[in-house]
Amino acid sequence: MTAALERRLGLTDAVVVGLGAMIGAGVFVAFAPAAARAGSLVWVSLAIAAVIAVCNALSSARLAARFPAAGGTYVYGRVLLGQLPGFLAGWGFVVGKTASCAAMALTVGLYLWPERAHVVAAAAVLALTVLSVMGVQRTATASKVLVGIVLVVLAVFLVMAWGVPTAGPDTPASMSLAPPVIDGEHWSARMLGVLGGAGFCFFAFAGYARIATLGEEVRDPERTIGRAVVVAITVVIVVYALVLAAIIHVLGVSGVAAGAAPVLEAAERIGGGELGPVVRIAAGIAALGALLGGILGVSRTTMAMARDRHLPARLAAVHPTSQTPYIAEICVGVIVAGVVLLADVRQAIGFSSFAVLIYYLVANASALKLDRATRRLPAWVPMLGGVGCVIVAGSLPWQSVLGGLVVFALGGVVYAVTRRRMVPPAARSHQA
């Protein structure tokens, strides 16, 4: 049966879901490609990504409070901008975040059992899918446990990291990747690197949308969603800044850029290496948290698109007992598990960042359509967020940009095929 979801999540639950989605594998893997692009200005990349993320989060929070329905920006864009922008936002989110879920799942396998990474990844996806189907409250409880473990391990890592000598100026690990800037050409090239680094850093922030996509399951959404988003992203910015400072302290900028897992590599250099296995397990757990949040977000957006008949209507079914979109969750889980078994998706970070940045461009444009009293934000907030999304998305590696454009072009074709059977807005409002 198709029905509305039950509101079971309070403020703490919503905050933890957001934290679990953000403090996932991103903090363990995103700083390496960001440092490779930005060099010693990786701090600027992190700051740019944080500013854009805050603007996007504030816009998304107001929209989610105004339209507390499953689907996030797919719903906002559809109502405020038109059917096509809303559909493309939902399409980009579902495809991009499916790839991201596969990347997170593979990260779980690579950290916990590298020799059987793909099998572990598929098993993790299926296990978390079962947990998600059992109910959002159980999912929130699992997120609390996962987030708590990761934060404790990161706290121990930070304390121990600052207890070792910094990489000296004469060691290769401490040397900046970026050459001295002596003319305008260097500045333009370096700025492009900084913006590209911001795109990779943004991947580590792109989890607060989970709170918005769960808007139909949050109690008192007008108050809860905005507070949860602000608290979650504030905690994440502080944690990321501290972690980046610690790994640069231990490895140097080029050391961060050279490895695939800088937090793990830094942990193996301190305290005689005893912390390395603990961080490895924590990274796997963090990736599990991000994967769980991803399954929640993708399945809710899938359900919203199915309600409008852009996807098979059966995907909009809500289980009468667990009150979850169980068919959408099962389908998402099976697809992600199949992807990780058949393909290497470690290069999906850039593509996923592009798709999600376009998703938030639609969110910011939607926020600008709200009247001032409803928006409760200065107009420059969504404007800055939207412009930032475009600039950073365009600064990602060309392969990521090209792949993203192809996916959105395919989405346009799907929209043209499905628009004739689309549910009219008036009918959609009475479905639940």
Alpha-carbon gap, residue 415 to 163, rounded angstroms: 56
Question: Which CATH number is 175's domain given?
Answer: 1.20.1740.10
Question: Into how many domains does the chain fold?
Answer: 1
Domain membership flag for residue 432: no
Among 59, 91, 82, smallest CA distance to 304 is for 91
pLDDT at residue 294 in the model: 81
Domain membership flag for residue 3: no
- State the CB neighbour count (10 A cutoff) for residue 234: 12
Q: Which two tokens stand for residue 374?
A: 């409803």
Alpha-carbon gap, residue 43 to 172, rounded angstroms: 19
Sign of the alpha-carbon torsion through 358, 336, 300, 218? negative
Strands (E), 348-396: none
Among 366, 349, 346, 378, smallest CA distance to 90 is for 366
Do the Cβ atoms of 241 and 157 come closer than 8 Å? no
Alpha-helical (H) ranges within 135-271 are 136-161, 184-205, 209-213, 221-251, 253-258, 262-269
**Alpha carbon of residue 174 to chain centroid:** 30
What single DSSP character describes residue 8?
A: -
Strand partners for 9: 218
Helix-helix angle 326-342:275-307, to 10 degrees: 130
Domain membership flag for residue 1: no
Instruction: Count CA atoms within 13 Å of residue 316 on its CB side.
Output: 20
pLDDT at residue 432 in the model: 39
Residues 6+ apart with CB under 8 A from 330: 129, 133
pLDDT at residue 117 in the model: 87
Alpha-carbon gap, residue 183 to 412, rounded angstroms: 43
Domain membership flag for residue 407: yes
pLDDT at residue 131 in the model: 83
89-95-97 Cα angle (round to 5):
90
pLDDT at residue 176 in the model: 41
Q: What residues make up the domain containing 345?
A: 11-179+188-418
Domain membership flag for residue 427: no
Quickly list DSSP for 236-297.
HHHHHHHHHHHHHHHH-HHHHHH-S-HHHHHHHHSGGGTHHHHHHHHHHHHHHHHHHHHHHH
Domain membership flag for residue 334: yes
Residues 6+ apart with CB under 8 A from 25: 103, 104, 107, 108, 283, 286, 287, 290
SS3 317: strand
Domain membership flag for residue 6: no
What single DSSP character describes residue 427?
A: H
For the chain (432 residues), the mean pLDDT of every run of 10, in chain order, is: 60 75 75 87 92 87 78 86 92 87 84 86 91 72 80 91 65 41 55 84 72 64 76 89 93 85 87 83 83 83 88 88 87 91 70 83 92 83 92 82 89 87 52 41
Instruction: Count CA atoms within 13 Å of residue 422 on its CB side.
Output: 19
Domain membership flag for residue 2: no
